[in-house]
Amino acid sequence: MGTKSLKIILLLFSVLISCSKDTGNSTEIIEDENGNPIEVDTSVNKKSVGDSANDLLSSGSFEKLILEILYVGELNPTSTTLDNFKEFLEARLNKPKGIEIILRQIEKVDQEFYSIQDIRNLEDTHRSKFNEKGTIAVSGIFIDGEYDQNTENGSVLGVAYRNTSFVIFEQTIREFSNQPLAPSLSTLETVVVNHEMGHLLGLVNAGTTMQTNHQDIEHGRHCTNENCLMFWTAETGEGLLNMLTGGSVPPLDALCISDLQANGGK
Ligand SMILES: [Zn+2]
Ligand SMILES: [Zn+2]
């Protein structure tokens, strides 16, 4: 083999290496609001929970929020839940160009248990909205089956797992709402979507700096106030039924709200 061909091989090799490096910055072709194909960098929507708290709360980089709600089979949230969710967000986020919710059915997977990796894969297959120009995008998936980390006394109802992604275990929520004397389906759904969104907004002490100390460290990124939306029991069916004795959706307490306000929120 001559020096020339060796050089060519080396050159090709280095081109290959730099190409494979580039795939770390994953891009995808999506449709913009006019239906035209555009290339977007999807890696900005695949960071850690809380990393986009300020982008979601403030209008500095993004003046609009688009929420893509995906659901399998017939497991869509109720229209009351979507209204409540929008109202909750409008009260806290500075989005002068609005908050838009898109609801879309996806193929049924029929899986009994889901790991977070399964859910990430599901999102990667179906998500079609990503940040572009002045719009930030959030994905929420309502699924069948249950979380593979559930225990006998802890049936997880929702998880925030990326900076702009959460999952709702809708089938589990429906099982709890069917129990005697349980709150309505809309009430349970609203608590869980609002709570998971609270995590994406950086609560508690997870991307949004605490203004006073109110983190329930024993339970991770949760609030110490048992009447607050961000109290840890809001995330499991067993805990939530206990918490909702009055049947109404718990609001964020003053401490959580002041954290959000200090990070660009309302
Ligand atoms: Zn939580
Ligand atoms: Zn709180």
pLDDT score of 23: 40
Distance from residue 254's CA to the centre of ligand 2 (Å): 7
261 or 248: whose pLDDT is higher?
261
Q: Is the separation of the CB atoms in 190 and 32 below 8 Å? A: no
Alpha-carbon separation of residue 158 from 76, 194, 200 (angstroms): 14, 10, 12
- Rg (the chain; Cα; Å): 21
Report whether 116 contacts 108 (CB < 8 A).
no
3-state secondary structure of 91: helix
pLDDT digits (tens, 9 = 90+) for 234-260: 999 999 998 987 779 999 999 999 999
Lowest mean pLDDT among 2-11, 183-192, 216-225: 2-11
**Using CA atoms, how far apart are residues 81 and 75, in angstroms rounded to an integer?**
13
Tens digit of each residue's pLDDT (9 = 90 or more) over 57-70: 999 999 999 999 99
Question: In angstroms, what is the span from residue 19 Cα to ligand 1's centroid?
Answer: 39
Residue-level pLDDT at 18: 39
CATH annotation of 29-34+42-262:
3.40.390.10
Distance 161 CA to ligand 1 centre (A): 11
Q: How many CB atoms lie within 10 A of CB 183?
A: 22
Asked if residues 69 and 89 have their Cβ atoms less than 8 Å apart, the reply is: no
CB 140 within 8 A of CB 168: yes
CB atoms within 10 A of CB 39: 10
Q: Which two tokens stand for residue 73?
A: 């089979």
pLDDT of residue 220: 95
Nearest listed ligand to the Cα of residue 214? 2
For residue 80, pLDDT beyond 70: yes
User: pLDDT grade, residue 72 (50/70/90)?
Assistant: very high
Instruction: Give the CA-trace dihedral at 237, 206, 59, 95, to 10 degrees.
Output: 0
Instruction: Tell me the pLDDT band of 3, cut-offs 50, 70 and 90.
Output: low
138 versus 34: the higher-pLDDT residue is: 138
Q: Which residue has the tokens 């275990």?
A: 169
Q: Give me the percent of the chain exceeding a pLDDT of 90.
A: 79
Whole-number mean pLDDT of the chain?
Answer: 91
Span 161-179, average pLDDT: 97
Distance 235 CA to ligand 1 centre (A): 6
